[in-house]
Structure 1
Amino acid sequence: MRRVALLSLLALVAASAVQARDVVPAERRILPWDANIPACQDPSVLENITAAFASREDKFWTEGLRLVAYEQINPVAWRPDGLDLIPRRFCTAVAHVNDGRKRRIDYVVREDLGFAGFGWGVTWCVHGLDRHWADAPGCRMKRP
């Protein structure tokens, strides 16, 4: 009898521990997000990536690589972690690099990632050019 009571108590504790948390959409918080971020193919997103890539290449790698065009731009996920977290849009594309190669690029457009935390911003990873392994393995940190 005691063993059954103990097992019942453990089951009750385990069940309460895995209950879902309250989900309050980010747009309804006291300091809300508005979830108004550009689409994957938005020119301003792609220009942001192009400029940041060029800056990083010039500053750290000095190989003169540039992203010159994009194709096969596709959304991967919109808010995959839930409505109560910072709005994010995960995207992928094929980038044409000025060395003649085409490389996959994964990127995340996120609210409040802009200058000083205002507006939207984008973080990205070009496959084969993540030389400092910040998004390793294989740019995985830029995918949901």
Structure 2
Amino acid sequence: MRALSFRKVHLIAALGLVFGLLAVGPAAQAANFFEKNFWLSGPRYDGNLPPCEWALGKITSRFADKESTFWNSALQITGYDRVHEIAFRPWQSDNIPRRYCAATAMISDGKPRPVYYSIIEDGGFASFGDGIEFCVVGLDRNWAYNPACKAARP
């Protein structure tokens, strides 16, 4: 019983010491002149995104790669119809600019399927170039945009 209370006292003392050291640490300070003005200017989005048709070739390529690599499938997109914009910057204007688009994709199995995609400014690898996120309804096998690609729309 005595050893247990001795351990508790040591534990309480150790915790008190740790919290005491944290309390006397240096306070947070604002950024100095160089930190604010040297390579830390922040994002400057201008909203100049390519049209919806620009992304179709990349979507076709990435869809075929995803199907063959991850799902052992030979499905491919053979064409598009009714390509149109759904929304452009649907939220506040100071968010990352996105152009939301929709189209009907003809799949190699003969079934036309809706495809929803967005073009994201500076959304490419390491923020270089425009990024593309897409979802083909009925072929979102890992349910990343479920249900029925609703999460790929604004």
- Give the alignment of 1:31-50 within 5 angstroms: 31-42=43-54, 45-50=55-60
2:84 is the alignment partner of 1:74:
yes
- 1:126 positional shift: 0.2
Q: Which amino acid aligns with 1:38?
A: P
Number of matched residues?
Answer: 114
Mapped partners of 1:87, 1:30: distance in 2: 15
TM-score by length of 2: 0.71
- 1:31 positional shift: 2.6
Q: Find the partner of 1:95 among 97, 105, 111.
A: 105
Unmatched runs of 5 consecutive residues or more in structure 1? 1-28
TM-score by length of 1: 0.76
Aligned Cα RMSD in Å? 1.2
- Give the alignment of 1:130-141 within 5 angstroms: 130-141=140-151
Mapped partners of 1:107, 1:31: distance in 2: 23
Unmatched runs of 5 consecutive residues or more in structure 2? 1-40
Task: Summarize deviations over 1:83-124 as a string: whole Å, max 9, x none.
Answer: 110000001000000111100000011111112211101100
- 1:30 positional shift: 4.3
User: Which of the pair has the greater relative contact order for Cα pairs under 8 Å at 6+ separation?
Assistant: 1
Mapped partners of 1:98, 1:124: distance in 2: 18
Runs (4 or more) in structure 1 with deviation over 3 Å come to none
Q: Find the partner of 1:123 among 123, 126, 133.
A: 133
1:108 corresponds to: 118
Structure with the greater alpha carbon radius of gyration: 2
Q: Which amino acid aligns with 2:115?
A: I
